[in-house]
Amino acid sequence: MLTDEFGREVTGVRVSLTDRCNFDCVYCHNEGLGDTRGPMDPQDDEMSTDDVVRFLEVAAEFDVDAVKFTGGEPMLRQDLEEIIRRTPDQMEVSLTTNGTFLPGRAEDLVDAGLERVNVSQDALDPEDFAAVTKSGAYEKVLEGVEAALEAGLDPVKLNMVVFEHTAGYVPEMVDHVAENDGLQLQLIEYMPELTGKPEWNIDIERVHDWLAEQADEIEHREMHDRRRYWVSDGSSDANDSGSNAEGRGMIEIVDPVENPTFCANCHRVRVTHEGYLKGCLNRNDDLKTMGEMTKPEIRDAFREVVANRVPYYGEYMVQNDDGEWEINEKYIEEYAGA
């Protein structure tokens, strides 16, 4: 297993299969690359099926045991089932999707080896949903969530980005997952440094505080130092012991912004749809090509990107005397001289 100089083992990879998407979410940062989405048709710059599988085989050599497939919208790839089927057996396979293509494909994805799925759902009202996603696919997303549950994916995590437009929807989303067995809610802190609209930001600690007041149980997760909140729907069954009791919903907050603890617990390397390794979501000055995607080239590039991984907050970004975050010049000098 490869470890960077800060002692962080790389145990997972997040692979973008395309930057194409049938949604146009107002908060999208496209895996930190910016709004580069183009036509809906397959593009020549996307990694081929064999390229993706070859990379995963090399990652498995370094004891990486989990892969999450993302996009854009990864289900625009018609070879997704084949990619999952050919993923090394040791890897847990998960998927982040907007859910619109899950009806009709969820069962085949599970048969291929998919174990977990995150579905983006930012609101429970069609008009509110359309305002955020610039899409009229609300009902199709609901069908996708149901298809995932029927195919045996449990839990199904609903991803909700929390910012000015959606913060008011959090209470009803919490009630929704508490009332529907098999669903969990993942609240994702809005990242203005990647999306460029700081006025949409909210204080995520207020959401933590509100959930703490509602929760029957609070759990700490080692990965990224995350907190999980178990909230009851008020039914008698919800008072039973155990985290999976019926009538209880699990809500987790992903809050990376200005959070050195989050960065200190990051164990993932990203791969862009074009076949570049990316050591940090927030940075694009550390992209590393895997060349023609031969296994020796992939091994060398993987070793190098892990060796150069730096926690974004606390190392790459440091606080000045006024408490403001600014770039640590030593890392800029290193890459400029590379």
Task: Give the residue ranges of the annotated binding site.
Answer: 14, 21, 25, 27-28, 68, 72, 96, 120, 157, 263, 266, 268-270, 280
Residues in the annotated binding site for [4Fe-4S] cluster: 21, 25, 28, 263, 266, 280
How far is 255 from 190, CA to CA, in rounded Å?
8
Is residue 217 within a helix (H) or strand (E), and if so which, with residue range? strand 217-221
How far is 17 from 105, CA to CA, in rounded Å?
17
Helices (H), the chain: 49-61, 80-85, 106-112, 126-133, 138-150, 170-179, 192-195, 204-214, 260-264, 295-307, 329-336
301's CB contacts (< 8 A; 6+ apart) are 277, 288, 289, 290, 291
CB atoms within 10 A of CB 31: 21
How far is 10 from 181, CA to CA, in rounded Å?
33
Residues in the annotated binding site for S-adenosyl-L-methionine: 27, 72, 120
Residues in the annotated binding site for GTP: 14, 68, 96, 157, 268-270
CA-wise closest residue to 17 among 44, 48, 56, 41: 48
